[in-house]
Amino acid sequence: MGLFTMPSLGSDMESGTLAEWLVAPGDTVARGDAVAVVETQKGAIEIECFEAGTVQELKAQPGQVLAVGAPVAVILAAGEAAPEPEAAPAPAPPPAAPAPAAAPSAVERAGVGAVRASPAARLRAAELGVDLGGLRGSGPGGAIVLADVEAGGGGGTGKPASRLDEMRKAIAAAMTRAKQTIPHFYLSQTMDVQDAIDLLAVRNSEAPPEERILLGAVLLRAAALAAQKAETLNGHYTDGAFQPAAQVNPGLAVALRGGGLVAPALEDAPSMPLRETMAAMRDLVSRARAGRLTGSEMTRGTLTVSSLGGTGGEVMAGVIFPPQVALIGIGAPQLRPWVAGGRIVPRTVVTVTVAADHRVSGGRQAARFLSEFETLVSQPEAL
């Protein structure tokens, strides 16, 4: 593999700040292993290597701002020669690009190496000039959370959440680009999900909390399976052409407190039975909250599923996340009068809205997706 460079973690990313190395020279790595944590506008992301090998050299220091494509490390496959065999360990190259406007230089001073910390904690530490390495974490896996920084850094009343401001900026840029360049159209259908709710209520009443399944998992599974039959909704629009994706990796929109939003991908979701879908969702949401998503989760989404969950509005017509070509918006379930078998009965219904790119698909394909979705949720035991 040779030179490992800063990957692009989104079409709008220009650079990232190396936060932490997860490997050291001499370590062997497998394909998909996380090698470093990079701070981006979208939070702290674990970046992975895509070939197995041995770490020969680290070419960047924690705190350094690295442009996409800048050398980060040398990782050699078995038997591969170093690209510059005679060279002594080179000095880390200077940052190849200026920091994004508000990339806080305090992050560099705060020494964020070799610790697990939530994005909010990293941010607060940077603001307070607190060294995360000197704190004890009380979060999952010993991660440092906001409260630890506040406790260790003497509290403070400074303005919080400029990291969230950064995330908002990234969202603003992507959403503005989406609305300016993607001709969106929308198609909605309201469908009966009472059978799915009833089935889950029975199963969950017999299950310990760890094994309970949320309606959101049923809806995500239905979306993933329906997307398999809707080729023109699943893929990327790049360089003026649509590239259908070979597998369905739905990005799951996760709202973060304070206004942040990330949509990590659930790779090959159609292959996961309902229980597995639920477990994967739980894992993604917890890691999104703790600031531990991976680079591939951030970039491999082929369409996005955004669900309002148990409470909220009943219809959501969303904005497509470029370069994807569709977003499935799922409103909060509503108890409504519903006609079934010629009678009016109270049923819980959900309105699913496809926002799609009209350059790539039309109403017929979106309608087919919705019809397939409805069929799937009407037979929940088959999911």
216 is a site residue for other proteins (CB under 8 A):
yes
What does each C-alpha distance from 188 to 80, 231, 298, 353, 373 come to in angstroms?
54, 18, 27, 4, 12
134 is a site residue for other proteins (CB under 8 A):
no
96 is a site residue for other proteins (CB under 8 A):
no
285 is a site residue for other proteins (CB under 8 A):
yes
Contact pattern for other proteins over residues 218 through 257, marking x by CB under 8 A = -------------------------------------xxx
Piece in contact with other proteins (CB under 8 A), picked from 44-52, 113-121, 235-243, 294-302: 113-121
CB of 287 to other proteins, least distance (A): 11
**Residue count, binding to other proteins (CB under 8 A):** 34
120 is a site residue for other proteins (CB under 8 A):
yes
Which tokens is 129 given? Answer: 């000039």
145 is a site residue for other proteins (CB under 8 A):
yes
CB-based contact 82:59 (threshold 8 Å): no
Nearer to other proteins, 121 or 182 (CB): 121
User: How far is 39 from 111, CA to CA, in rounded Å?
Assistant: 13
What does each C-alpha distance from 125 to 54, 135, 288 come to in angstroms?
33, 10, 19
Q: Beta-carbon neighbour count of residue 381 at 10 Å?
A: 9
83 is a site residue for other proteins (CB under 8 A):
no
311 is a site residue for other proteins (CB under 8 A):
yes
CB of 121 to other proteins, least distance (A): 7
List strand residue ranges (DSSP E) for the chain, in order: 2-5, 15-21, 28-29, 34-40, 43-48, 53-58, 65-67, 71-76, 184-192, 235-238, 241-244, 250-252, 254-256, 260-262, 293-294, 303-307, 326-330, 334-340, 343-357
Nearer to other proteins, 226 or 288 (CB): 288
Residue entry with tokens 């519903």: 338
Piece in contact with other proteins (CB under 8 A), picked from 21-29, 38-46, 92-100, 137-145: 137-145
280 is a site residue for other proteins (CB under 8 A):
no
Piece in contact with other proteins (CB under 8 A), picked from 26-34, 211-219, 230-238, 364-372: 211-219
Nearer to other proteins, 98 or 309 (CB): 309
Binding residues for other proteins restricted to 291-310, rule: CB under 8 A: 309-310
CB-based contact 236:10 (threshold 8 Å): no
User: How far is 251 from 285, CA to CA, in rounded Å?
Assistant: 11
Task: Report which of 100, 118, 113 is spatially closest to residue 161, judged by C-alpha positions.
Answer: 118
Instruction: Give the one residue of 94, 158, 205, 341 binding other proteins; rule: CB under 8 A.
Output: 205
User: How far is 383 from 380, CA to CA, in rounded Å?
Assistant: 5
Nearer to other proteins, 121 or 224 (CB): 121
Which tokens is 103 given? Answer: 């990339």
147 is a site residue for other proteins (CB under 8 A):
yes
Nearer to other proteins, 70 or 164 (CB): 164
What does each C-alpha distance from 175 to 32, 144, 327, 361, 364 come to in angstroms?
30, 31, 12, 20, 25
Instruction: Give the one residue of 14, 80, 150, 267 binding other proteins; rule: CB under 8 A.
Output: 150
| Amino acid at the residue 280 | A
What does each C-alpha distance from 382 to 190, 194, 222, 281, 378 come to in angstroms?
21, 15, 10, 19, 9
Nearer to other proteins, 138 or 238 (CB): 138
Piece in contact with other proteins (CB under 8 A), picked from 7-15, 140-148, 178-186, 262-270: 140-148
Task: Report which of 9, 64, 288, 47 is spatially closest to residue 174, judged by C-alpha positions.
Answer: 9
- Contacts with other proteins, residue ranges (CB under 8 A): 118, 120-121, 138-140, 143, 145-147, 150, 201, 204-205, 208-210, 212, 214-216, 255-258, 281-282, 285-286, 289-290, 309-311
